Amino acid sequence: MSFKIATIADAETAAGFALAGVREVYIHEKKEATLAKLDELLASEGIGIVFITYSIAEELGFDFKRRMRAKKAIPIVLRIPDKTGRVPKVDELQEIIRRTVGAEIIVKGGS
Amino acid sequence: MSTDRILQFELARLNAHLPGQRITLKDALSSSNPQVVAKDGSKHKFERMELEYISKIVHADDWDKLRLPILIGVNPKLGRGAAEISGEVEVKVISQVLGKECRNPEMVIYRPEIAVVRTKLPTATQYFFMVG
Amino acid sequence: MAKTIGVAPTRMELLKLKQRVSLAQKGHDLLREKMDALVIEFFGIVKRIREVRAGTMQQLSSAYRALSICFAMQGTIETYQAAREVTKVAEVDISTRHVMGILVPVVEAKPIERHALTRGYGVHLTSSVLDEASREFERALGDLIKLAEFEEGAREIALELEKTKRRVNALEYVILPNLKSMVKFISMRLDEMERENFSRLKRIKAMLEGRE
């Protein structure tokens, strides 16, 4: 099935994605408005991927995390660095791996 | 007891991903959208690259004998970390992926080998948990 | 102890309990196999993420750089103008594949690298820095789409893995030991009752024999 791509970012990043042909480009200004847009995108049947910058996701904070836990599989939401290149200190993937491998060791010891 | 019910539920769910009907390699190769449908209606798409890889291993005469996905049979009786592959053509494919020789209609593979198979053929193979 | 059990110490109950132990053991072994398999799947996809992440981030950096240059040389207003005028055709095909009971996305970008003349921004805006920025972002987009597929897949597998692990642990450390100790208790109780019965019968027999 075909899906559209969306981006929630600052103006410059949004321009970049627009140049690449992304239709749904939303420029972040205020938290409430952006959350509303995010909800709209998450509920939309036609959106397949939403790219959002780490900065904005961080600013949205817990409201963002909650939506990520509750959402369906589609759209896929991927956080990306903006032009500053800043990424969060805690690498989520590493955390998941540590949790997985850590507990796996316990299970192995028990059997 | 509710734990028993949870257990029954989880066990029933173990194989829920398997298709009601598998398709032959022949049909998959000729289809424009090769996929199978699970009992709950969800779809599983086969990667063309994997199909082509398999078609080079299997003799064209056997293309209608090979059913996809190839099942990796998990049976706790084999011991933890072991699984079995059944079927002459299936064994041929898996042997080729693993770079070993096996003439039997059945073979047992172990965890590192399972990892290799799953990396090479992620959509053409599926786990099958033997509950019985 | 009898109060906490809530099950009558009969042979029937013992049999039922032993069946439950058997079911729980089988369930534990199978779910543990599922857990092992999920770990294989998880690390397989993590490997793919590692393979593409660095390259993707590099490409994205290039894209931002090219865009900065474009802003500087083409002008801010003109760049935004071009961004508005570009034909918006970036789309993805998303299908699904099964990984043991969960559905994981398979994402493919519809080919999006375009030519300066076909992008759609007005000819008066065409410039090499604009092309460069567009091209770099198109490439970045392609990489990011692949990364999105793997990261989402990893997330879903991790969730299922955690759930399965909890079940395995519950069975191994709580349910099975519990059931097994109940079996032991009832067995012992039954033996005890049988011994009591036996000695009672012996006494009755002795009494009856005494009478004769």
Note the pLDDT of residue A58. Answer: 92
Q: Which long-range contacts (CB under 8 A, 24 or more apart) does C160-164 make?
A: C160/C38, C160/C100, C160/C101, C160/C102, C161/A100, C161/C35, C161/C38, C161/C39, C161/C42, C162/A99, C162/A100, C164/C31, C164/C34, C164/C35, C164/C38
Report the residue from B11, B43, B127 with minimal CB separation from C96. B43
Give yes or no for a contact between C25 and B7, defined as CB atoms under 8 angstroms apart.
Answer: no
Q: A73 pLDDT exceeds 60?
A: yes
Size of interface A-C (CB pairs under 8 A): 140
| Half-sphere exposure of residue C146: CA atoms within 13 angstroms, side-chain side | 18
Q: A94 pLDDT exceeds 90?
A: no
Size of interface B-C (CB pairs under 8 A): 85
C85-115, pLDDT tens digit by residue? 888 888 999 999 999 888 899 999 887 556 6
Mean pLDDT of C125-132: 82
Q: Interface partners of B (3+ CB pairs, < 8 Å)? A: C
B118 and C44 within 8 Å at the Cβ level: the answer is yes
B49-101, pLDDT tens digit by residue? 999 999 999 999 999 999 999 999 999 889 899 999 999 999 999 999 999 98
With tokens 């594949």, the residue in question is C97
**Chain B residue at shortest CA distance from C32:** B80
Residues 58-87 of B with CB under 8 A from C: 74, 76, 80-81
Tokens representing residue B28 in the block? 């998959």
Plot region of C80 (φ>0 → left; ψ -120 to 50 → alpha; else → beta):
alpha
Tokens representing residue B123 in the block? 């959509």
- Chain A positions touching C156 (Cβ under 8 A) are 73
Task: Give the mutation candidate from B127, B128, B130 for the C interface (greatest C CB count, under 10 A).
Answer: B127
Interface check for B49 against chain C (CB to CB < 8 A): the answer is: no
Phi, psi of C167 (to 5 degrees): -65, -45
Interface check for C69 against chain A (CB to CB < 8 A): the answer is: no
| Domains held by chain A: number | 1
Which residues are bridge partners to B128 per DSSP?
Answer: B73
Task: Give the mutation candidate from B1, B13, B14, B47 for the C interface (greatest C CB count, under 10 A).
Answer: B14
Reduced to 3 states (helix: H, G, I; strand: E, B; else coil), residue A9 is strand
Higher pLDDT, C126 or C23: C23
- Chain C positions touching A109 (Cβ under 8 A) are none
Give yes or no for a contact between B25 and B54, defined as CB atoms under 8 angstroms apart.
Answer: yes
pTM score, whole prediction: 0.87
State the residue range of the domain holding A42.
4-110
- Helix, strand, coil: what percent of chain C each, to 5? 80, 10, 10
Instruction: Write down the ipTM of this complex.
Output: 0.90
Give yes or no for a contact between C140 and C59, defined as CB atoms under 8 angstroms apart.
Answer: yes
Note the pLDDT of residue C126. Answer: 67
Please report the DSSP string for C124-163 in residue order: GG--HHHHHHHHHHHHHHHHHHHHHHHHHHHHHHHHHHHH
Nearest of A100, B98, B45 to residue C43 by alpha carbon? A100
Give the count of beta carbons closer than 10 Å to the beta carbon of residue C135: 20
What whole-number distance in Å separates Cα of residue C30 and Cα of residue C28? 6
Burial C7-34 (b: 16+ CB within 10 A, else e): eebeeebbeebeebbebbbebbbbbbbb
- Chain C positions touching A83 (Cβ under 8 A) are 64, 67-68
- Evaluated on CA atoms B128, C49, A66, C95, the torsion sign reads negative
Mean pLDDT of C61-71: 95
C44 and B115 within 8 Å at the Cβ level: the answer is yes
Q: C46 pLDDT exceeds 90?
A: yes
What residue segments make up the domains of chain B, in order of their start? 2-129
A28-56, pLDDT tens digit by residue? 999 999 999 999 999 999 999 999 999 99
Q: C209 pLDDT exceeds 60?
A: yes
Tokens representing residue C109 in the block? 């970008």
Residues 149-208 of C with CB under 8 A from A: 149, 151-152, 154-156, 158, 161-162, 165, 168-169, 172-173
Mean pLDDT of A20-33: 93
pLDDT band at C57 (very low <50, low <70, confident <90, very high): very high
pLDDT band at A72 (very low <50, low <70, confident <90, very high): confident
pLDDT band at A17 (very low <50, low <70, confident <90, very high): very high
CATH assignment of the domain containing A90: 3.40.50.10580
C10-211 maps to which CATH number? 1.10.287.3240
C67 and A15 within 8 Å at the Cβ level: the answer is yes
What mean pLDDT is reported for chain C? 88
pLDDT band at B1 (very low <50, low <70, confident <90, very high): low
Note the pLDDT of residue A108. Answer: 38
Please report the DSSP string for chain B in residue order: -HHHHHHHHHHHHHTTTSBSS-EEHHHHHH-SS-EEEBTTS-EEEPPHHHHHHHHHHS-GGGTTT-EESEEEEE-GGG-TTEEEEESHHHHHHHHHHHT----SSEEEEEHHHHHHHHHH-TTTEEEEE---
Q: B120 pLDDT exceeds 90?
A: yes
pLDDT band at C3 (very low <50, low <70, confident <90, very high): very low
Tokens representing residue A11 in the block? 């103006």
Q: C12 pLDDT exceeds 50?
A: yes
Report the residue from A20, A80, A85 with minimal CB separation from C112. A20
A2-9 and B35-37 beta bridge pairing: unpaired
pLDDT band at A107 (very low <50, low <70, confident <90, very high): very low
C107 and A49 within 8 Å at the Cβ level: the answer is yes
Note the pLDDT of residue C4. Answer: 53
C107 and A76 within 8 Å at the Cβ level: the answer is yes
C-alpha distance from residue C142 to each of B32, B66, B129, C133 (Å): 23, 35, 37, 14
Note the pLDDT of residue C2. Answer: 45
C166-191, pLDDT tens digit by residue? 999 999 999 999 999 999 999 999 99
Note the pLDDT of residue A102. Answer: 67
Note the pLDDT of residue A103. Answer: 53
B17 and C100 within 8 Å at the Cβ level: the answer is yes
A107 and C35 within 8 Å at the Cβ level: the answer is yes
Residues 126-145 of C with CB under 8 A from A: 130, 133-134, 137-138, 140-141, 144-145
Tokens representing residue C74 in the block? 């083409």
C165 and A107 within 8 Å at the Cβ level: the answer is yes
Note the pLDDT of residue A109. Answer: 33
Note the pLDDT of residue B10. Answer: 87
C95 and B81 within 8 Å at the Cβ level: the answer is no
Which residues are bridge partners to A79 per DSSP?
Answer: A52
Identify the helix (H) or strand (E) that includes residue A8: strand A2-9
Interface check for C33 against chain B (CB to CB < 8 A): the answer is: yes
A78 and C110 within 8 Å at the Cβ level: the answer is no
Report the residue from B11, B35, B44 with minimal CB separation from C30. B11
Tokens representing residue C100 in the block? 């043991």
A1 and C93 within 8 Å at the Cβ level: the answer is yes
